[in-house]
Amino acid sequence: MAIRMDGKKIAAEIRGELKGRVEALKARGIEPCLAVILAGDDPASKIYVRNKKRACEEIGIRSLEILLPESVTEQELIEKIRELNEDRSVHAMLVQLPLPRQIDSLKVLDEIAPEKDADGFHVVNAGRLFTGRASVLPCTPAGCMELIHRAGVEVSGKTAVVVGRSNIVGKPMAQLLLNENATVTICHSRTRNLGEITRKADILVCAVGRAKMVTGEMVKPGACVIDVGMNRLENGKVVGDVDFESVDEVAGYLTPVPGGVGPMTIAMLMQNAILAAEKHG
């Protein structure tokens, strides 16, 4: 059986650590504030926003929820972001993805002032990460790195494989591993012989969105396997991209789903909001 990388427990520890930083800010007269914009009524997005709000409340960050209708125009959304950019009481913000169809997400995300970009998706922050001058890290990849570090898994010199190349998970994840001197391969939907590649990985990160696609025979014995995927089955159960039972037999370290990467993502979001308040409050 692989060693569990318990994201739920580690995220609770991190939130505990962050509380102290919030108190220190408040003692300086700064109340950190995270604004969350939710456009439309996607049920999964509503749950994510609720969880983020709850985490804010727990550690003492003020959370500002901005709910916009599914029919919101790109211009209206941009105007809201500009208003929050100007608001000195708001230190960080995020726009919950996915956005309604009529809206160009990349254009909207680039309207957020880079210093208030809680998700680290702004093109300037992406560029900083890719040129080794990162100031804010995308939350999910940062959470995965934290899990790897806290498990004591060495990264430097290791072979790492990231399955998935999205701007918000796969690509920044690969870059973070590269920044720590792993030798990194990125796989995607056109990759041939996926199993042959994943089997070489000392560190394997799966961020695809296909239930249980990575099975035990695709994993190197002893590997550290991070499962980012969150897939809801017809019976309502949420499972990862990794087939937990078969991979558990082979891997050295493994994240559960739920309770692995998900809570870490929110903890890293809280950290980004606090960092923004510390730097620019």
Tell me the binding residues: 164-166
Residues forming contacts to ligand NDP in the complex (CB under 6 A) are 140, 163-166, 168-170, 187-191, 194, 207-210, 228-231, 261-262, 265
> Which has the closest alpha carbon to 41: 121, 98, 84, 93?
98
Q: Closest CB to ligand NDP among 85 and 105? A: 105
Taking the complex as a whole, the smallest distance from the CB of residue 110 to ligand NDP amounts, in Å, to: 18
Give yes or no for a contact between 34 and 62, defined as CB atoms under 8 angstroms apart.
yes
User: Catalytic: 119?
Assistant: yes
d(CA 224, CA 148) in angstroms, rounded, equals 8
Nearer of residues 90 and 205 to ligand NDP, judged by Cβ: 205
Rounded to an integer, what distance in angstroms lies between the CA atom of residue 75 and that of residue 65?
A: 19
DSSP state of 215: -
Q: How far apart are CA 95 and CA 81, in angstroms?
A: 9
Residues 33 and 281: their CA atoms lie apart, in Å, by: 10
248 within 8 A of 258, measured Cβ to Cβ:
no
Binding-site residue numbers for NADP(+) are 164-166
Give me 168's structure tokens. 């918000």
Is residue 241 among the annotated active site residues?
Answer: no
CB of 19 to ligand NDP, least distance (A): 22
Q: Which of 80, 116, 117, 119 is catalytic?
A: 119
Could you say which of 52, 116, 212, 220 is catalytic?
Answer: 52
90 vs 269, beta carbon nearer ligand NDP: 269
CB of 142 to ligand NDP, least distance (A): 11
Q: Which of 6, 80, 96, 243 is catalytic?
A: 96
| Active-site annotation holds for 52 | yes
> Under a CB-based contact definition with an 8 Å cutoff, are residues 169 and 140 in contact?
yes
Q: How far is the CB of 134 from ligand NDP (least distance, A)?
A: 19
Q: Which residues are annotated as catalytic? A: 52, 96, 119
